[in-house]
């Protein structure tokens, strides 16, 4: 959208837009992005026109800043060492396997793990195998709110019987990836993963692999 300098200036100031410009012949070609709308304007160079003087005095030096900053995820920072951990849990009389994985380190010291991803599976496949709970739990009451206090719950407990994820039968493996993010697990707290066997099966074992980062 082509507009004059005064309109252009008013919009970039009121909306905090990033002013970009190029020099083409005897013109300054100005632009700014306002979502899907591209604002455009132009000014004559080497001119004593008040609009050109205004741009050169008050806006030119701060223009052409980067409009998109590079994002550095937790696992791109060089302050962590990737570690591998695993746990095995037996299927109980309810057909459930409760896997508990404790974050190493000294509680209250800032130690812990940045959880990246995990993979879980049963020793044998059934179409109704399912992960029904994924939580952070204070099993040992290190925070003083009571043993087994649930601090974070990822599966949708408001969805009733639809809570959690089925384990895909064609692979027999459920994989969860935080997509560049992380879940920080303070030292002394536990990841609690509950998986339920399909077909009313009450024997077997559930296995879990976790990839997480330790602060260097």
Least confident of 46-50, 67-71, 137-141, 144-148: 67-71
Q: Number of structural domains, the chain? A: 2
Residue 188 lies in a domain: yes
pTM: 0.64
Same domain, 90 and 9: no
* Mean pLDDT calculated for residue range 16-28: 92
Same domain, 81 and 149: yes
Query: When comparing pLDDT for 69 and 152, which is higher?
Result: 152
Does residue 36 have a pLDDT over 90?
Answer: no
Local confidence band at 69 (pLDDT 50, 70, 90 cut-offs): low
Query: When comparing pLDDT for 35 and 173, which is higher?
Result: 173
The pLDDT, as a whole number, for residue 123 is 97
Residue 108 lies in a domain: yes
The domain boundary residue, chosen from 32, 62, 92 = 62
pLDDT one-digit tens code per residue, 86-129: 999 999 999 999 999 999 999 888 889 988 889 999 999 999 99
The pLDDT, as a whole number, for residue 184 is 82
Local confidence band at 71 (pLDDT 50, 70, 90 cut-offs): low
Same domain, 151 and 202: yes
The pLDDT, as a whole number, for residue 179 is 52
Residue 160 lies in a domain: yes
Same domain, 85 and 26: no
Same domain, 100 and 202: yes
Beta bridge partners of 40: 2, 31
CA distances from 2 to 5, 7, 29, 139 (A): 10, 10, 11, 63
- Note down the domain range covering 13: 5-62
Residue 169 lies in a domain: yes
Report whether 17 contacts 32 (CB < 8 A). Answer: yes
Does residue 79 have a pLDDT over 80?
Answer: no
Same domain, 10 and 91: no
CATH number of the domain where residue 164 is located: 2.60.120
Longest CA–CA separation in the chain, Å: 87
The pLDDT, as a whole number, for residue 68 is 54
Mean pLDDT score of the chain: 89
Same domain, 55 and 118: no
Residue 10 lies in a domain: yes
Same domain, 48 and 129: no
Residue 68 lies in a domain: no
Left (φ > 0), alpha (ψ -120 to 50) or beta: where does 68 sit? beta
Question: What tokens appear for 116 in the block?
Answer: 């990246």
The pLDDT, as a whole number, for residue 190 is 95
Does residue 131 have a pLDDT over 60?
Answer: yes
* Mean pLDDT calculated for residue range 59-77: 71
Same domain, 117 and 206: yes
Residue 26 lies in a domain: yes
Residue 70 lies in a domain: no
The pLDDT, as a whole number, for residue 153 is 87
Same domain, 57 and 82: no
Same domain, 52 and 101: no
């Amino acid at each position: 959208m082509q507009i004059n300098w005064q309109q252009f200036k008013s919009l970039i100031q009121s909306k905090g837009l990033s002013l970009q410009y190029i020099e083409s012949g005897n013109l300054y070609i100005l632009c700014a992005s306002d979502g899907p709308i591209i604002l455009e304007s132009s000014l004559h160079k080497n001119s004593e026109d008040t609009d050109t003087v205004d741009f050169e005095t008050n806006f030119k030096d701060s223009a052409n800043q980067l409009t998109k900053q590079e994002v550095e995820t937790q696992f791109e920072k060089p302050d962590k060492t990737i570690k591998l951990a695993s746990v095995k849990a037996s299927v109980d009389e309810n057909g459930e396997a409760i896997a508990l994985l404790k974050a190493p380190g000294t509680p209250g010291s800032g130690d812990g793990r940045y959880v990246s991803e995990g993979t879980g599976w049963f020793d044998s496949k059934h179409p109704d195998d399912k992960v029904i709970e994924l939580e952070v739990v204070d099993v040992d009451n290190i925070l003083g709110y009571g043993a087994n206090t649930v601090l974070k719950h990822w599966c949708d407990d408001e969805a009733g019987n639809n809570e959690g994820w089925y384990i895909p039968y064609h692979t027999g493996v459920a994989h969860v990836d935080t997509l560049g993010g992380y879940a920080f697990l303070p030292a002394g707290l536990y990841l609690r993963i509950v998986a339920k066997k399909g077909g009313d099966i009450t024997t077997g074992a559930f296995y879990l692999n976790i990839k997480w980062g330790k602060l260097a």
